Amino acid sequence: MFRLILPDPEVYEVDLLNSDDDTLVKISQNLGLNLNLDEMKRVKDYFRKKGRNPTDIELQSLGQAWSEHCCYKSSKYYLKKYLLGFKADYVISTTDDAGVVEFDEDHAYVVAFESHNHPSAIEPYGGAATGIGGILRDVVCMGAQPVALIDPLFFGDPETRRDEIPKGVKHPLYLLGGVVAGIRDYGNRVGIPTVAGMVFFDSSYLTNCLVNVGCVGIVRKDSIIPSRVGGAGELIILAGGATGRDGIHGVTFASAELDEKSEEESRGAVQLGNPIMKEPLMHACLEAVEKKLVSGMKDLGGGGLSGAVGEMSLAGNCGVEVWLDKVHLKEERMKPWEIWISESQERMLLSVKPVHVDEVLYIFSKWDVPARIIGVTTDDKKLRVYWRENLIYDMDIEFVSAGVEYCRNYSVEKHEAGGEDDVFDLGNYEETILRMLSHPNVASKEWVVRQYDHEVRANTVLKPLQGRIGFETHGDAAIIKPTDSMRGIAITADVNPWMVSADPFWGSASSFDEMIRNLIAVNSIPHTFVDCLNFGNPEKPDRMGEFVESVKALGWMSKEFGIPVVSGNVSFYNETPYGSIAPTPSLIGIGIAEDIRKCVSSEFKKQGTALILVGETEKEFGGSLYSRINGIQTFNVPKTDPESLKKYSNAMLKAFNQFGILACHDVSMGGIAVSLAEMAFGSGFGFEVSLKDFVELFSESNTRWIVEIDERDAVSFIEFMTEMGCRAEKIGVTGGERLDYGIASLEFDIAEEKWRTGLAGYLG
């Protein structure tokens, strides 16, 4: 089956041509390729036509390129069909490692979003840290300076008892602590602020946590670098950290379910980050870009050299020769296939014209960053890899990089949404509100946020914590000032997995609605979004059905509302023998704040001002906090309509310009009960409103905001919104020492204590 053809270092020929189906499967298993029988047959046919057997490095390359993580073989059919059709003329690129979008006349912003789920479940500190490292590289390789990081995180129930933890699984609180520490240490050390994100707990994440990481950067339009070579005859430079055995089979590991053996068997697939190398690497890359010395650049992420070299060359309509023995190594006697597919961190690939090579190498030397010439582009579409004078890899790039595509079968479980009798008024409003405020999905995330330096670079003009110093509440979105102008970038991260679980279509649409609401709440214009679509095993029709319904909803909302998705990620196989995660299409929304001096925060500003509810409240409790804490099962997830959302959004933006709106906060988890409390906690005083029933108090209907405005402007504001075809009503006033909802009243200090300690109480 295996014949040694190069003894030092070892390269083997693999006998595919004489292998039957069972042997093909065994070869895939023995080499860790994670390719199924049909895929192995396709590889066999390719080499039969070439009249030879493959080498082990060629097969390993195909295992990486054809993994779910790299080629999106289960998702790209539906992504193209439902989500990726809408374009906007201000979008510059959606086909590179990150989305590139016009920011102003001279600048573009760059945004990327990825998952690092499986590595973080195995080694939370290193998995999360290298997730941050990877997303930074995705932005830098476009020639952009990173300006903000975003981290949506999802863990099992923090109250899980130790004896309920399956073998090979870590406790949610251990994972939370390790993940936050990894993001903290990496982000703080490279000096990029973490300004937005979310932390969500649900029992479905017990055996498979999710760590999603996003990054936003800024670049001059004339300095944007594509993720492709510039033509034949260019030299390929590998810069950054040394290549080692860490991260081998990272993408194939991420393209399979976790099990109790993953803790031991897959630890080597987790990369080792080094932020001390990353910072000078970023500086060196950006200096080379600024001096117009680089034709193309790509980070070494999934698949390592195997993925980056092929994709970069194919995108430039070229081939490439690589001299693998020139690669700088961490350890001796690495096999060629290990070098080729290693996902060791802090590495960038640059395509440089010969005339600029010496200057580029000097720049990296000046920054004390290793950089070596490892190859040259050619005028064919062949990828050839040499070890000294020995040709050990020779394949058509299009065959390797095109991958496979499946139109997988799927099924959609339809639930009766139910009627008015599904959800009951259970009374005990005060107790219910306190339970909501202390729930870890609602309670203050200060324990997390304070560990991140969200103000480094001094450009975070609207911070994730807002309000009185030392007693802040959380905001709907952060705003970064990336240039010398007063124009800003608003950033929010949103998804409600409970709603998506109850109804994948309407839950995903609701998550989009919340993303828009958060951008509007700070007085920014929704501009683009990116997604990280986390789902279970796509080979199971019900899991695939959740994905398809979610993509349909996001595509519908995107096109009808009018903002495009410009980049994203699909993470499948978030599943173990104990079950699948809740379907989690996490979103990052980007808005444009035309004048950062006019941005609005969430906390009350004055006592005696009017509180206006904008939007319409319905009896919709599917996936709500009220249903969850009371053990009610209902699938009547809040509905939304993109045309109505756009109408309300435009009206709100006009109102910000016409009225002196003091504070604004969207209504989401926990309904008005939680939204008003959060606004109060940031101000230090309470409110008095008049709500009629539990629906008005706890409903999580979409497209709603609470607006604080001077009493003298309240009538005019309501009249204006009515003229715009929107519903708005005064519900009360700010002030006092209680949270007075009319049908419930709480002491301010007691409620605030519940909210501030709800998560921190688990962490000591």
Distance of alpha carbon 519 from alpha carbon 479, whole angstroms: 10
Is the CB of residue 323 less than 8 Å from the CB of residue 374? yes
* Distance of alpha carbon 180 from alpha carbon 365, whole angstroms: 33
User: Does 107 participate in catalysis according to the annotation?
Assistant: no
Cα–Cα distance measured from residue 134 to residue 247, given in angstroms and rounded to the nearest whole number: 12
3-state helix, strand, coil in the chain (%, to 5): 40, 25, 40
Cα separation, 62 vs 398, whole angstroms: 12
Residue 726 · residue 653 · CB < 8 Å: no
Q: Could you write out the DSSP letters of every residue in 160-220?
A: --GGGSPTT---HHHHHHHHHHHHHHHHHHHT--EEEEEEEE-GGGSSS-EEEEEEEEEEE
Other beta carbons within 10 angstroms of residue 540's beta carbon come to 17
Contact 437, 755 (CB under 8 A): yes
Strand pairing of 745-747 and 738-740?
Answer: antiparallel
173-204 b/e (C-beta count within 10 Å ≥ 16 → b): bebbbbbbebbbbbbbbbebbbbbbbbbbbeb
Residue 259 class from Cβ within 10 Å (0-12 exposed, 13-18 middle, 19+ buried)?
middle
**Is 356 an annotated catalytic residue?**
no
Q: Which of 116, 118, 249, 474 is catalytic?
A: 116
> Is the preceding omega at residue 9 within 30 degrees of 0, hence cis?
yes
Pairing of strands 745-747, 687-689: unpaired
Q: In three state form, how does the secondary structure of 440-476 look?
A: CCCCCCHHHHCCCCCCHHHCEEECCEECCCCCCEECC
Catalytic residue among 69, 249, 454, 474: 69
Is 690 in contact with 613 (CB distance < 8 Å)?
A: no
User: Strands, DSSP E only, in 8-127?
Assistant: 10-14, 91-93, 99-102, 107-115
Residues that are catalytic: 69, 116
